[in-house]
């Protein structure tokens, strides 16, 4: 048998060659999807060993899944955290954290531009169990500090906030919690780990509605919480135990989304800035909320803390009532009317109609929701097409 050329022989691994890093089950290029609801044990002793030794294997589908663990490790790496937990939604992630940390008589402080369902859960539902919720003006750190009492357990904010896109000074927020011995949480759904890094600033918990930018395709519901191993529940904190009631089920779609996350976020950032700059110079626009614009009140903080400014743009139509504003929403051709954000398709909504229709005018004013407000979540379409579409809608 003729000898192989040296070049070909070099392609043959020797018996001592270690396995390649990242080898997956079945030699698959993607992580396999496990659809089983339960996992078997060889014998009774295997069950006992699993319990006593806390072996890192699966037991029941609601408690964990091999593929889910893969996604959690990737999310923790993206955020620079030790541990991540997946949930069925971003709201579930917050609820589980609150339930794992708060007892009757405890208090939580929100900036008032946080997601209104989050604040509502605390003020209406946790209040029934004796938990006190305090809300202060967004980015008013003195007011938040004044609201802290010996019973305060958690300080909560988004950054950027939705829909006003206020930017939190992460260093100052973290320092506030640290000085008072109170843990801090940032909902970074709009910021994403591409644009901001709360844990690096000293924030205790980072929360995501992974339904949005992390998933990125408008086809899954998921949430995530990232922190240290101890805080997420591998240590004495019980968040991981409580998570058993709120586990995500579409982890494989989230893993798929993470593969294109950086590419998509670059385009989201590009589109958001292009649209915001166009709107800022249009005579029919009264105001644009976008941290990438120098006119934004938190522009300097955004430049300091953010890599990019995201794809969400909120704006007010000049001298328009809610019906005239609705006609602008109805006149665009590319964005679809829908309540979410962060996907590859652009979405548009009128907050008064989509999220605050049943609120009183007084409550809408309190929340800063104007009749002439539009929220546009830019997808990854061509930015020139998005601008041209908005131009024709505003000129109608």
Given a contact cutoff of 8 angstroms between Cβ atoms, the answer to whether 292 and 273 are in contact is yes
Residue 59 Cα distances to 47, 110, 161, 268, angstroms: 9, 37, 39, 40
Helix axes 383-395, 322-331, angle to 10 degrees: 140
Contacts of 322 (CB under 8 A, 6+ apart): 350, 352, 353, 371, 372
Active-site residue (options: 106, 169, 187, 389)? 187
Residue 231 known to be catalytic = no
Active-site residue (options: 62, 153, 307, 336)? 62
Residues 254 and 352: their CA atoms lie apart, in Å, by 30
Give the closest residue to 314 by CA, choosing from 349, 343, 274, 344: 349
Residues 45 and 303: their CA atoms lie apart, in Å, by 58
Residue 153 known to be catalytic = no
Given a contact cutoff of 8 angstroms between Cβ atoms, the answer to whether 221 and 89 are in contact is yes
Q: Report the SS3 class of residue 142.
A: helix
Q: Fill in the DSSP letter of residue 127.
A: G
Active-site residue (options: 74, 101, 134, 212)? 212
Give the closest residue to 111 by CA, choosing from 151, 81, 145: 145
Planar angle of CA 337, 338, 343, nearest 5 degrees: 110
Planar angle of CA 68, 72, 75, nearest 5 degrees: 140
Other C-beta atoms lying within 10 Å of the C-beta of residue 358: 6
Residue 284 known to be catalytic = no
Active-site residue (options: 74, 115, 289, 298)? 115
Given a contact cutoff of 8 angstroms between Cβ atoms, the answer to whether 33 and 252 are in contact is yes
Q: What phi and psi, each to the nearest 5 degrees, are found at residue 106?
A: -75, 165
Residue 187 known to be catalytic = yes
- Which burial class, exposed, middle or buried, applies to 337 when counting CB atoms under 10 A from its CB (0-12, 13-18, 19+)? middle
Tell me which residues are annotated as active site: 62, 115, 187, 212
């Amino acid at each position: 048998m003729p000898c192989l050329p040296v070049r070909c022989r070099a392609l043959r691994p020797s018996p001592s060659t270690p396995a390649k890093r990242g080898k997956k089950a079945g030699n698959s290029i993607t992580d396999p999807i496990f659809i089983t609801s339960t996992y078997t044990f060889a014998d009774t002793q295997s069950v006992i060993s699993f319990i006593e030794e806390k072996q890192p294997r699966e037991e029941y589908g609601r408690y964990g899944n091999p593929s889910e663990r893969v996604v959690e490790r990737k999310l923790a790496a993206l955020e620079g955290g030790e541990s991540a937990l997946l949930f069925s939604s971003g709201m579930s992630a917050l609820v589980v954290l609150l339930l794992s940390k708060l007892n009757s008589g405890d208090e939580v402080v929100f900036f008032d531009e946080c997601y209104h369902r989050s604040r509502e859960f605390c003020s209406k539902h946790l209040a029934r169990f004796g938990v006190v919720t305090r809300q202060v003006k967004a980015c008013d750190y003195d007011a938040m500090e004044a609201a802290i009492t010996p019973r305060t357990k958690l300080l909560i904010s988004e950054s950027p906030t939705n829909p006003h896109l206020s930017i939190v000074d992460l260093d100052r927020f973290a320092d506030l919690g640290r000085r008072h011995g109170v843990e801090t949480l940032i909902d970074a759904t709009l910021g994403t780990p591409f644009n901001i890094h709360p844990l690096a600033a000293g924030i205790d918990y980072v929360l995501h509605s992974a339904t949005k930018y992390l998933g990125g395709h408008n086809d899954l519901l998921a949430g995530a919480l990232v922190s240290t191993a101890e805080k997420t529940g591998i240590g004495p904190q019980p968040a991981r135990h409580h998570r058993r009631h709120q586990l995500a089920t579409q982890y494989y779609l989230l893993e798929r989304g993470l593969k294109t996350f950086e590419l998509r976020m670059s385009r989201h950032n590009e589109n958001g800035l292009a649209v915001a700059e166009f709107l800022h110079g249009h005579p029919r626009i009264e105001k644009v909320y976008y941290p990438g614009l120098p006119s934004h009140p938190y522009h300097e903080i955004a430049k300091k803390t953010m890599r990019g400014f995201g794809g969400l743009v909120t704006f007010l139509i000049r001298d328009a009532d809610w019906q005239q504003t609705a006609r602008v929403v109805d006149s665009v051709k590319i964005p679809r009317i829908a309540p979410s954000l962060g996907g590859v398709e652009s979405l548009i909504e009128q907050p008064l109609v989509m999220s605050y229709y049943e609120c009183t005018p007084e409550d809408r004013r309190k929340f800063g929701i104007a009749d002439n407000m539009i929220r546009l979540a830019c997808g990854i379409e061509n930015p020139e097409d998005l601008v041209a579409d908005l131009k024709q809608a505003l000129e109608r």
